[in-house]
Amino acid sequence: MKQRLFLYTMILIGVIIFAACGGAPAEAPANAAAPTEAAAEPAAPAQPEGCLGSADTALVNLECREIKIAVENAYLPFNYISLETGEPGGWDYDVFAEICTRLHCTPVYVETAWDGLIQSVADGQSDVGGDGITITEERKEIVDFSIGYIKISQRLLVRKGETRFDGIEALAKDESLVLGTQTGTTNYETATKYLPEARIKAFEQFPFAVQALIAGDVDAVIMDEVVGMGYMGENADTVELIGESISSDELGFVYPKGSDLVEPFDKALQSMMEDGTLAEINVKYFGPDFKITYDDIKTE
């Protein structure tokens, strides 16, 4: 518990620094990934919230334009569907609602499988993609990115009391050890920098990777720190994060190449950084009061 509280404290410190800087991404880890396969047919859009904001106060008036937003709906704390209520929620929903309030537009959420999410945006099936996507040069070849809105750190999640290794370098040296992660993510890309692919086991979703860890089928899972802390809360007696940050990267929204939404969305994001709104949302979802776990949401 003390370790978890310390980690959350460090996140909140990063959030405060983020707000004070008015645009420097905060230190708060998240899901960072990108697909390599063609997009699957997306699910029907969720019911729109309606046109938000007003023309009189809009930073840029998008005149109630519908903005199709690709989300996985299975990635805490960015997006999820509550098992209890059947309602969607998460960081993405709050942030996009605020952006549309500032731009006078209508958010329409399109549930899209992670392994095809970025490609679906690149193909124009959605106007923008959330889901905590890491900004990389490779991805910039097929999509445009927003300004970075937060920084993430990748770390190792292990079984409680792990003593065979204390970080990824030590894990890599022991050829008997296997590392789990999610396919098509920057976490997977980072894993390949340390281990041969034969020693990396990739899963369609992180919950499956964590289940494999607990069952002893893999020896560690590399993931973004915020996601790892969510699993620590869910399985406090079973798993823990170890070692220092393996990498730190910025997250951003993705758009089809040449999208006219990049500039207005960046203006809205920047204004949210400067007035503290983004920091407040970060505290809500990355802070200790966020109690939702993967047991509480739909993952398939």
Q: Give residue 19's pLDDT.
A: 40
Calculated CA dihedral for residues 4, 75, 116, 220, nearest 10 degrees: 30
pLDDT at position 204 over 50: yes
Beta-carbon contacts of 125 under 8 Å, excluding residues fewer than 6 positions away, are 39, 42, 68, 70, 110, 112
Residues 33 and 187 sit within 8 Å (Cβ to Cβ):
yes
pLDDT at position 6 over 60: no
- 24 or 137, which is more confident: 137
DSSP letter, residue 17: H
pLDDT at position 143 over 70: yes
Q: Give residue 42's pLDDT.
A: 43
Residues 180 and 158 sit within 8 Å (Cβ to Cβ):
no
Query: With 0-12 CB in 10 A as exposed, 13-18 as middle and 19+ as buried, what is 52?
Result: buried
Mean pLDDT is lowest, of 8-12, 215-219, 221-225, for 8-12
Mean pLDDT is lowest, of 28-32, 77-81, 260-264, 280-284, for 28-32
- 38 or 196, which is more confident: 196
Mean pLDDT is lowest, of 5-9, 65-69, 87-91, for 5-9
pLDDT at position 217 over 90: yes
Residues 18 and 26 sit within 8 Å (Cβ to Cβ):
yes
State CA 98 to chain mean position distance. Answer: 18
For each of the domains in the chain, give its residue range(s) and CATH number, in order of start. 2-151+250-296 (3.40.190.10), 153-248 (3.40.190.10)
Residues 67 and 121 sit within 8 Å (Cβ to Cβ):
no
- Tell me the pLDDT tens digit for each residue of 149-166: 988 889 999 999 999 999
Residues 129-153, buried b or exposed e (16+ Cβ, 10 A)?
bbbbbbbbeebeeebbbbbbbbbbb
DSSP letters spanning 239-277:
EEEEEEEEEEEEEEEEEETT-TTHHHHHHHHHHHHHTTH
Mean pLDDT for 157-182 is: 96
Task: Look at the alpha carbons of 204, 207, 208, 212 in this order and tell me if their dihedral is positive or negative.
Answer: positive
Mean pLDDT for 276-284 is: 90
Reported pTM? 0.66
